Amino acid sequence: MPKTMNCGICPCDETCPVGEAVALIGGKWKLRLICTMCLDGTQRYNDLRRKTKGITNAMLSQTLKEMESDGLVVRKQYEEMPVRVEYSLTERSRALWPILHRLGH
C-alpha cells in the first residue's frame, strides 16, 4: 500500500484541491465529453450527442453549460443560418488528458 502524501491540506477540508477537481469533472457525462473532444477535437452539438451513447438532449445541454461555466469548454456560435455552434476544450481541460489516460492504464 502506498504511503500517504502530506500536501498540507486535509482531504476533508473544503479547500481540498482533489475534491475541487473531482467536483469539476465528476458525474456520468463530463469525462466522456472531455475524452470525446480530446480524441476528436472541436465538435458540434449533434456530433457530441451521437458519440455520447445514452445522453439525453437536456442532459447534454446542461452538462455543456456547466462545463463552459467551469472553464472546461468553449462554446463558439457562428452568425449564420442555420446557427452553427461548436464546442472545444480549453487548455485547462486538455491538460487533464494525460492524467486521465494514465489513470485508465
pLDDT in tens, 48-65: 999 999 999 999 999 999
In a domain, 12, yes or no: no
* pLDDT above 90 coverage of the chain, percent: 56
pLDDT of 5: 53
Helix H or strand E segment including 74: strand 73-78
Q: Look up the CATH number of the domain holding residue 34.
A: 1.10.10.10
Residue 99 and residue 56: Cα distance in Å, rounded? 28
Identify whether 11 is preceded by a cis peptide bond (ω within 30 of 0): no
Does residue 11 sit within a domain?
no
Q: What are phi and psi of 4, to 5 degrees?
A: -75, 145
- What's the grid cell of residue 61? 445541454
Number of structural domains (the chain) is 1
- Predicted model pTM: 0.80
Q: Is 44 helix (H, G, I), strand (E, B) or coil?
A: strand
The type of residue at 45 is Y
The domain in which residue 79 lies consists of 17-104
